[in-house]
Structure 1
Amino acid sequence: MTATPVGRRERKKAATRQSIADAALRLFLERGYDQVSIRDIADAADVSTTTVFKHFTGKEALVFDQSADREAGLIAAVRERAAGQGLLDALRQHVLDTWLPIATHPQRADFVNLVESTPALRAYAERMWTRHAEALGAAIADDLGVDRDDVACAALARFVLEVPTLARGRVDHRAAVDAVFDILTHGWRPPEAPAAPPGG
């Protein structure tokens, strides 16, 4: 009999958190990150500043509000993959399932510009990327039964996390993701130069 109230409470918390994050991003895009205060965000979301800090550690975390979920998803892709599915196949599918929708989101370019034009957000993103790489590397090492500081596992984690950056500017995002994972799976081969025209 207690499951429903708990579920309702968790849904309400999640909705409040999303409302705050949405209000923050809207204000950041409209005014610029440095011109928006926590009070502005709280007012826009119709909550108190205390409520904002219950859900987020600070302004930077409001921009990257799904960071914890993304890290958990990366680890789950390794640990909870289907029986018989290879590690790289699972990570490839995870990137395709989670990143492709983000890459085509109508606000994606504005979001990237916001982060790249704001030193505090760039620094936060770099720290977040490092944390994700360490967590994914550890999950890969655990899966393979090797030490968590194994350099091959750390390298693979970093390569996987770079895939969205490498694919971002390409016309065909899916093909770019597949191309990088093909390299990780089969090894790098020199690309073939286009054939010279006859008589050239």
Structure 2
Amino acid sequence: MQYRFITIEGNIGAGKTTLASKLAAHFHAKLILEEFADNPFLPLFYERPQQYAFPLELFFMAERYKQLKDMLQTQDLFREVVVSDYLFIKSLLFAKVNLPEEEYALYQKLFDIINPQLVQPDLLIFLNAPVSRLQENIRHRNRSYEQQIPDDYLRNVHDMYMQYIKQHPVRTLMIDTSKWDFVRQPDDFQRLLTALEEDYAPGINYMKL
């Protein structure tokens, strides 16, 4: 497998952590999982988003940067596979959705200072899921503060991801999760492993049925 640093991305409830953990176990890879539960502003944000959006996003960006910097700077990316369940750019994308224009402009300045210091993934696997599937997964994992996320918010997050992927030459493997089940269908997971043997061009590549 030629990709040494793989990132799994997708909307809230898309199954990023589950797939990242499964791939890391298969490849005996170093696993980087987002530590979202440590963000004290997350439950407050879902109750009062306008009041807590900026501290929420600032905390997330600082924690993601520290985690990636600490874990990747000591990593030999030529010898060991690394799998992460988030892309650092998600800090900027969620800030774009959640912050008013003035706060977003300040946030972007901070992001632009630290982003060049991080290693970028060789391959982005994007889990593209319909809102109905996302809501089903959100209900199933039963985090109390997520249960009232509106469909429109999930659509806005999806649109922001798509805009970024289409505008930047990120080597992306796009997967429709309504057609693939890597957890309950071993054959689907095996097909993903086969797909990871391909040499993808920068831009969007679709996993074929």
**TM-score, normalised on structure 2?**
0.27
Larger relative helix fraction = 1
Of structures 1 and 2, the larger Rg is shown by 1
**TM-score, normalised on structure 1?**
0.28
